[in-house]
Amino acid sequence: MGYLPEIYREFNKQFPEVAKAYDVLAASCHQWGPLDEKTRRLIKLGIAIGLSSEGAVRSHARRALEDGISPDELRHTVLMALTTAGFPTMIASVKWVEEVIKKSK
């Protein structure tokens, strides 16, 4: 796993049992079912966009790039939020994802 935000590292130190249980649950949800890795990554990004969660959008965009998902695939995922989550949510996510893309180069 690459970059981890400071707050996440602190959470892991303070609540190691909870963090481990969360990681096991997240891995189980991620691996269950027929969806491939790329689809799962883009869905997670879409959920983060819909929640307007800057940290999660950045994290999922970064992890998607690390897994070989292209910048244009990330951009398309963000654009798909326009008619469901609305313009303000989508445009904020454009900013966050573009910053992650730029930083990854």
Of 40, 105, 32, the residue nearest 77 (C-alpha): 40
> How far apart (Å, rounded) are the C-alpha atoms in residues 59 and 105?
16
User: According to the model, what pLDDT value does residue 3 have?
Assistant: 74
**Which amino acid, one-letter code, is at 9?**
R
**pLDDT for 28-44, tens place per residue?**
998 999 999 999 999 99
Contact criterion met (CB below 8 Å) for 65 and 2: no
Contact (CB, 8 A) for 48 and 56: yes
pLDDT of residue 5: 82
Q: How confident is the model at residue 1, as a pLDDT?
A: 57
- What domains does the chain contain, in order, with CATH numbers? 1-32 (no CATH), 35-104 (1.20.1290.10)
The CA distance from 87 to 84, in Å, is 9
For residue 46, which of 85, 7, 14, 18 has the smallest C-alpha distance?
85
The structure's pTM equals 0.86
